[in-house]
Amino acid sequence: MKFADITGWGKCAPPAKLTNEDLSTFLDTDDEWIVSRTGMKERRISHVPVSDLAYVACAHALAAAGKSADDVDLIIFGSCTVDQVVPNAASRVQQLLGADNAACMDLNTACTSGMYGLSVATAMIRTGSVKNALVVGAEVTSVLMDWSNRDVAILFGDGAAAFFLETSDEKAGVVAESLGCYGKNRDILDVTGWGAKYANQGLTLGETQWNFDGQEIFKRAVVGMSRACEKVLEKEGMAKEEIDLVVPHQANLRIIDALAKRMGTGEEKVYINIQRYGNMSAATAPMALVEAIEEGRVAPGANLLMPAFGGGLTWSAHLLRWGSRIAPLGTSEVELPPCDKTGLQLIQDIVAAKKTAGA
Ligand code: UT7
């Protein structure tokens, strides 16, 4: 039987930071509330389009796998904030990398897009459709945020993280997953002004309004992720004690704590980086895994459990068995252009540009 080992990994965190103090300069909020309710301290704001973040993350993932752009069979771009719908975002990454032999698709399941992307790539590799794939979760939510709404504006940040997967005879990579969606509850995370439906309604596309029931999402996130974790462990016939590290979607530290409590997992077995980035939607869980590897939290042969949830309300849990290598084979010199603005200045630019567009 074939598997799809993850042999390369890379990330791109845009340099401009937006701190809780920055947010409190234009919203009725403060550091104490944000830290105690979410665990977030700062997040990144991108000065470039989402495809550029994805390109940098993919270049690093390819180098870590010791591959060149010509080798890539498939690029999956997981995101709900793609630069353009036509042409798709994966084709932009192909163009920037020069990965001319790759098939290219975008995939949107909101915050779970990177993880659903791993499932699709794994299945295509295991069935022999492709020999390898680059999967990137990337998001620039900042341009579509309603920066006047403190309920949501504090929660999100920008970023990208990517993996290179290749066919393997060893049992490695995603070994099982549980995927689903609470479509009946899709309205509790609903953003107007973001999609073709709004083009004929006299709205400025990108001028968004977030209809967001935080408490309901919170509850369904905890229940959905814990059920998905139980299901995936049962599928693989694995006891939760055999999990070496839980690398969850990072939407709220209290959601992660509640999930760990339900599963009886000690905090030393849960990877957390929400304090640095907030919720980067599709990039979140992939970025957490990349940083867990970089920080030496993932050992060769480790069993990793990755629960996630997002708008839709999509939910997922992936069981990964890490392969034999935890050091990158190479590094890439690809990097973002310099940014001479602070996160706060970038937000002010976004708000001003929308005012001009709507005037
Ligand atoms: O990945 C998918 C998207 N992620 C999520 O949807 C996250 C799920 N939900 C959550 O993380 C939490 O529900 C939130 C962080 C969004 C909110 O936390 P909460 O503990 O559920 O707060 P709450 O909505 O019950 O609000 C408590 C109070 C309210 O004031 P009153 O009515 O008690 O006077 C809010 O108006 O906190 C107020 N509040 C704020 N105060 C300061 C809400 N947002 C803020 C804020 N700063 N940013």
pLDDT reading at 204 higher than 80: no
The percent of residues above 90 in pLDDT, for the chain, comes to: 93
Q: Rounded CA gap, 167 and 132, in Å?
A: 6
Q: Which residues contact 36 (CB under 8 A, 6 or more apart)?
A: none
> Domain of 208: which CATH number?
3.40.47.10
- The model's confidence at residue 34, banded by pLDDT at 50, 70 and 90, is very high
Ligand 1 interacting residues, C-beta cut-off 6 A: 29, 33, 37-38, 111, 150-151, 154-155, 214-215, 217-218, 251-252, 279, 310
pLDDT, one tens digit per residue, over 283-342 is 999 999 999 999 999 999 999 999 999 999 999 999 999 999 999 999 999 999 999 999
> Secondary structure of 8-76 in the HEC alphabet?
EEEEECCCEEEEHHHHCCCCCCCHHHHHHHHCCCEEEECCCCHHHHHHHHHHHHHHHHCCCHHHCCEEE
Among 28, 79, 218, name the best residue to mutate to test ligand 1's pocket (greatest count of ligand atoms within 8 A of Cβ): 218
The Å distance, Cα 211 to ligand 1 centre, comes to 13
Instruction: Tell me how crowded residue 262 is: count the other CB atoms within 10 A of its CB.
Output: 15
Q: What residues make up the domain containing 180?
A: 3-358
The percent of residues above 70 in pLDDT, for the chain, comes to: 99
Number of domains forming the structure of the chain: 1
pLDDT reading at 358 higher than 70: no
Q: What's residue 116's pLDDT?
A: 98
The Å distance, Cα 213 to ligand 1 centre, comes to 9
For range 170-189, the mean pLDDT? 97
Helices (H), 130-250: 150-153, 214-236
The Å distance, Cα 259 to ligand 1 centre, comes to 18
pLDDT reading at 198 higher than 90: no
Torsions phi, psi for 289 (to 5 deg): -70, -45
pLDDT, one tens digit per residue, over 36-58 is 999 999 999 999 999 999 999 99
Q: Whose CA is nearest to atom 14 of ligand 1?
A: 214
Q: What's residue 196's pLDDT?
A: 87
pLDDT reading at 205 higher than 80: no
CA angle 289, 295, 298 (to 5 degrees): 55
| Number of helical H runs and strand E runs in the chain | 11, 13
Q: What's residue 359's pLDDT?
A: 59
Q: Whose CA is nearest to atom 13 of ligand 1?
A: 214
CB 73 within 8 A of CB 103: yes
Residue 169: helix, strand or coil by DSSP?
coil
pLDDT, one tens digit per residue, over 98-139 is 999 999 999 999 999 999 999 999 999 999 999 999 999 999
pLDDT reading at 162 higher than 90: yes
pLDDT reading at 345 higher than 90: yes
Q: Rounded CA gap, 309 and 116, in Å?
A: 11
Helices (H), 134-283: 150-153, 214-236, 253-263, 274-277
Residue 188 CA: distances (Å) to CA of 145, 185, 206, 254, 280 = 16, 6, 19, 19, 19
Q: What's residue 28's pLDDT?
A: 98
User: Both tokens of residue 90?
Assistant: 């994966």
User: Both tokens of residue 248?
Assistant: 């969850």
Taking the CA of residue 189 as reference, the ligand 1 atom at the shortest distance is 6
